[in-house]
Amino acid sequence: MAISNSDVMLAGLTREQLLGLHATMLLIRRFEEKAGEEYTLGKIGGFLHLYVGQEAVATGAITPLRPDDYVISSYREHGHAIVKGADPNAVMAELFGRATGVSKGKGGSMHIFDDKHHFHGGYAIVGAQMPIACGYGLAQRFAGQGNITMTFFGDGAVDEGAFHEAMNLAELWSLPVVFICENNLYSMGNALAKAWSVSSLEPRAAAYGMAYERVDGMDVLAVRETAQRAIDRARRESKPTLIEAMTYRFRGHSMADPAAYRPKDEVERWRSTRDPIMLFEQQLRDLGIDQATLSAADDRATQAAEAAAAFADNSPFPDLSALTEDVMIDPTGAIAWRRPRK
């Protein structure tokens, strides 16, 4: 259906599109809160890194992508997977370690993978996803289908050699990759000011001659516009971009972290004045969208999160026979180094 100018309400988006962004951020928020609850109840094992507070980044950056574009992320990736199209039921089931999970219950929170929606992980090794994104970008450049790769990582990943190798190769080889650093000011308990000798990523992008933009990661529309420019650059010119989205996680690093290293008033200030959902709802109210519409969207998100947890809880654990399925083996014995030494 053609969109006329009169349909557009804000930032080139229709009412329906704006409400879609709102619903997506709410779904991530309620999903993550529910996952946190289930973790405390002992339903989820291993690590669990929640995305609460950062929802505007995944929502703003991934919604303008095409279905055939790829997204690769870190271990704080449930939100990215859901925005890219993964079924929240199957993501929750993965957290519960159930056979109906996106990774058949064998990956868990840090290894969400959904090939159908081109969401390719879920990496627990800090920075690992960036050189991999370059590999995808190289393949895409050669294949010439016009699809691109977007990769998300934290401020802590920037200090890994992998970041520098990836930045250099992406620019050198003109790869259609959008790098998005979610700068939430902490890597585990380490404050940014104690880790970086510079206060932004701009000089690091400049070191590799790469286009750079900094954006308010709590402003979903700003993220969307910034991401759109980078996506266009990747698709039309096969050029990478480094985006630094300034954001904040409202919870600890993982469920195991009481986050005692952050001043309470700092956390409170971000929560009460910079919550991305709260800020966007204010923008929507200013456009004349009523509170009842916003509250109904919140109720739907809560119901979806509860339904996902119920689906996960009612799903079976993987069968023991699944243990050796999808595992890389060497049936021919051709790879000599895999053989045990005599």
The stretch near ligand TPP (CB under 6 A) out of 23-31, 123-131, 138-146, 263-271 is 123-131
What number of chain residues touch ligand TPP (CB under 6 A)? 13
Q: Is the dihedral of CA 261, 265, 267, 270 positive or negative?
A: negative
184 lies in the site for Mg ion, by CB under 5 A: yes
The stretch near ligand TPP (CB under 6 A) out of 37-45, 90-98, 149-157, 234-242 is 149-157
- Candidate residues 25, 126, 130, 221; the one interacting with ligand TPP per rule CB under 6 A: 126
Length of the chain in terms of residues written? 342
Half-sphere exposure (Cβ direction) of 216: Cα atoms closer than 13 Å: 11
Q: How far apart are CA 207 and CA 204, in angstroms?
A: 5
Least CB distance to ligand TPP at residue 186 (A): 6
156 lies in the site for ligand TPP, by CB under 6 A: yes
Identify residues 280-339 at the interface with ligand TPP (CB under 6 A): none
Q: Which residues have a Cβ under 8 Å from the Cβ of 293 and sit 6 or more positions away?
A: 19
Q: Binding string, 185-214, against Mg ion, x = CB under 5 A?
A: --x---------------------------
28 lies in the site for ligand TPP, by CB under 6 A: no
- 70-73 and 119-122 beta bridge pairing: parallel
252 lies in the site for Mg ion, by CB under 5 A: no
Q: Are 90 and 97 in contact (CB under 8 A)?
A: no
Nearest C-alpha neighbor of 284 from the set 14, 19, 63, 27: 19
**Which residue number has the CB closest to ligand TPP?**
154
Least CB distance to ligand TPP at residue 47 (A): 9
Least CB distance to Mg ion at residue 13 (A): 29
248 lies in the site for ligand TPP, by CB under 6 A: no
Identify residues 126-155 at the interface with Mg ion (CB under 5 A): 154-155
Cβ proximity to ligand TPP: between 200 and 228 the closer is 200
Biggest alpha carbon distance in the chain?
Answer: 76
Q: Which amino acid is at 150?
A: M
Q: How far apart are CA 293 and CA 245, in angstroms?
A: 29
- Candidate residues 40, 45, 116, 125; the one interacting with ligand TPP per rule CB under 6 A: 125
Q: Is the dihedral of CA 46, 47, 52, 58 positive or negative?
A: negative
Q: How far apart are CA 243 and CA 319, in angstroms?
A: 42
155 lies in the site for ligand TPP, by CB under 6 A: yes
Q: Is 59 helix (H, G, I), strand (E, B) or coil?
A: helix
Cβ proximity to Mg ion: between 58 and 309 the closer is 58
118 lies in the site for ligand TPP, by CB under 6 A: no
Nearest C-alpha neighbor of 78 from the set 39, 44, 43, 112: 112
Cβ proximity to Mg ion: between 22 and 253 the closer is 253
Q: Which helix or strand (DSSP H or E) is residue 78 part of?
A: helix 78-84
187 lies in the site for ligand TPP, by CB under 6 A: yes
Nearest C-alpha neighbor of 255 from the set 103, 93, 91, 110: 110
Binding site for ligand TPP (CB under 6 A): 76, 124-126, 154-157, 184, 186-188, 253
Binding site for Mg ion (CB under 5 A): 154-155, 184, 187
